[in-house]
């Protein structure tokens, strides 16, 4: 999609507008968009300085005139000490910063980021994503950032577009898509989710769903008529209990406990043979161990309902 905007590929049909101006057919070099490539694609035969100054250079501006601008951008990205180095001497992070600096120098207000952090170590990715957002905000740019990393997307986006097989599934703020996704795929793809197939039994204030003999309630209204439904709940919204279990409470046995740093992830096999993933803060973790029988509270507010997909559940949520 962003290749269409940049003009690297032309759409078969439809129009693309930038600043209310139609740009179909305009060659790449006249579109004036900043583009950061997944491959980073720094010119290997040029220094950092030459890479960054390439934009003004090819437009025929004297390097001398653009000198201050280049210097300013290098400083802004913290690259001033590396200006004379060649790309292969840089770390992954510095390379990525150079690529951003190179894209920014044209003064374009539209920045297209194609998996800009994809080639970096996880930890570096974490640091740089916030720097990227800050830069965009400080310079008042519009940015389209393409990524397959949903946490990266959520943490820096104003608006998030979930895409699948060339189609937009859903658009919304990260919070909306996380808390109240309109589509099953979004619910599954954005953050972790437990999925249960069941049957809607009653539609009052609370919708009552039967999952293989166990009951769940949702406080959300359902706008579909089908009886067969998929109930979705995020692992971090489920509360775990010990001791006496009241009737109707989901119960099960902890089969696996995984330490994830700030949270602990449990896998609980319920009495009706479902696997439930649960994430709890570490402070609660010591109370529960593998083999323990536990009760689970699945808050109706956190339970989302979707019609059972025509193509089958596995296909509907398939990531490949």
144 with 113: CB under 8 angstroms?
A: yes
Can you tell me the distance from the alpha carbon of 115 to that of 38, in angstroms, rounded to the nearest whole number? 5
Which 70-89 positions form the footprint of another protein (CB under 8 A)?
A: none
Radius of gyration of the chain (CA): 25
List 163, 201, 282, 293, residue binding another protein (CB under 8 A)? 282
Please give the residues from 256 up to 275 whose contact with another protein meets the rule CB under 8 A: 258-263, 265
> Judged by CB under 8 A, how many residues of this single chain contact another protein?
71
| DSSP designation for 148 | S
How far from chain centre, in Å, is Cα 306?
A: 21
Among 24, 72, 75, 130, indicate the residue that binds another protein (CB under 8 A): 130
The only residue of 41, 69, 211, 222 in contact with another protein, by rule CB under 8 A:
41
- Using CA atoms of 135, 136, 140, 145 in order, give the dihedral in degrees to the nearest 10: 170
Cα separation, 197 vs 271, in Å, equals: 16
Least distance in Å: CB of 65 to another protein?
14
Q: How many CA atoms lie within 13 A of 245 on its CB side?
A: 14
- Restricting to residues 196-225, name those near another protein by CB under 8 A: none
The binder of another protein chosen from 139, 163, 281, 312 (CB under 8 A): 281
Residue 31 in contact with another protein, rule: CB under 8 A: yes
User: Is residue 101 a contact partner of residue 79, using CB atoms and an 8 Å limit?
Assistant: yes
Among residues 16, 23, 34, 87, the one that binds another protein under rule CB under 8 A: 34
Nearer to another protein, 207 or 257 (CB): 257
Residues 46-65 that bind another protein (CB under 8 A): 54-55, 57-60
- Minimum CB separation of residue 161 from another protein in Å reads 15
> What is the distance between the alpha carbons of residues 320 and 317, in angstroms, rounded to a whole number?
9
Q: How far is the CB of 171 from another protein (least distance, A)?
A: 16
């Amino acid at each position: 999609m962003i290749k269409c905007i940049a003009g690297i590929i032309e759409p078969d049909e439809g129009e693309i507008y930038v600043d209310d101006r139609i740009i179909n057919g305009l060659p790449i070099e006249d579109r004036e968009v900043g583009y950061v490539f997944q491959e980073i694609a720094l010119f290997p035969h040029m220094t950092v300085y030459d890479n960054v100054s390439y934009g003004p250079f090819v437009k025929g501006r004297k390097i001398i005139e653009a000198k201050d601008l280049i210097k300013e951008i290098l400083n802004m990205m913290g690259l001033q000490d590396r200006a004379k180095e060649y790309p292969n001497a840089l770390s992954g992070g510095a390379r990525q910063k150079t690529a951003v600096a190179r894209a920014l120098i044209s003064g374009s207000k539209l920045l297209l980021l194609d998996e800009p952090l994809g080639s970096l170590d996880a930890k570096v990715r974490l640091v740089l994503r916030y720097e990227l957002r800050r830069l965009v905000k400080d310079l008042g740019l519009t940015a389209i950032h393409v990524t397959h990393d949903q946490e990266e997307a959520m943490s820096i986006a104003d608006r998030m577009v979930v895409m699948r097989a060339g189609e937009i599934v859903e658009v919304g703020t990260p919070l909306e898509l996380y808390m109240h996704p309109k589509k099953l795929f979004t619910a599954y793809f954005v953050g972790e989710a437990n999925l249960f197939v069941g049957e809607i039994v009653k539609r009052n204030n609370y919708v009552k769903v039967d999952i293989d003999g166990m009951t769940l309630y949702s406080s959300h209204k359902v706008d579909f008529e089908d009886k067969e439904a998929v109930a979705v709940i995020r692992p971090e919204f489920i509360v775990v209990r010990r001791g006496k279990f009241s009737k109707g409470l989901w119960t099960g046995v902890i089969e696996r406990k995984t330490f994830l740093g700030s949270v602990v992830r449990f896998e609980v096999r319920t009495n009706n043979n479902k696997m439930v993933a649960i994430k709890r803060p570490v402070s609660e973790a010591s109370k529960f161990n593998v083999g323990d029988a536990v009760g689970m509270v699945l808050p109706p507010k956190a339970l989302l309902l979707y019609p059972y997909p025509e193509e089958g559940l596995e296909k509907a949520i398939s990531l490949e």
